[in-house]
Chain A
Amino acid sequence: GNSVTQMEGPVTLSEEAFLTINCTYTATGYPSLFWYVQYPGEGLQLLLKATKADDKGSNKGFEATYRKETTSFHLEKGSVQVSDSAVYFCALIKNTPLVFGKGTRLSVIA
Chain B
Amino acid sequence: NAGVMQNPRHLVRRRGQEARLRCSPMKGHSHVYWYRQLPEEGLKFMVYLQKENIIDESGMPKERFSAEFPKEGPSILRIQQVVRGDSAAYFCASSSGTGDDTQYFGPGTRLTVL
Which A residues have a C-beta under 8 Å from some C-beta of B?
32, 34, 36, 42-46, 49, 89, 93, 96-103
Main secondary structure, interface of A, reads strand
With both chains docked as a complex, state the minimum distance between the C-beta of A98 and any C-beta of chain B, in angstroms: 6
Interface size on B, residues (CB 8 A): 22
Is there contact, CB below 8 Å, between B43 and A98? yes
Is there contact, CB below 8 Å, between A97 and B48? yes
Q: Indicate which residue in B43, B48, B93, B108 contacts A89 across the interface (CB closer than 8 Å).
A: B43
Is there contact, CB below 8 Å, between A46 and B33? no
Which B residues have a C-beta under 8 Å from some C-beta of A?
4, 6, 33, 35, 41-45, 48, 56, 59, 91, 93, 101-108
Is there contact, CB below 8 Å, between A98 and B106? no
> Which of chain B's residues have a CB closer than 8 A to the CB of A45?
105
Q: For A97, A101, A103, which residue has the most chain B Cβ atoms within 10 angstroms?
A: A97
Is there contact, CB below 8 Å, between B42 and A49? no
Q: For A44, A93, A101, A102, which residue has the most chain B Cβ atoms within 10 angstroms?
A: A44
Q: Indicate which residue in B4, B33, B107 contacts A98 across the interface (CB closer than 8 Å).
A: B33
Given contacts A44-B93, A100-B43, 7 further A-B contacts (CB under 8 A): A34-B102, A36-B105, A46-B105, A93-B103, A96-B45, A97-B45, A101-B42
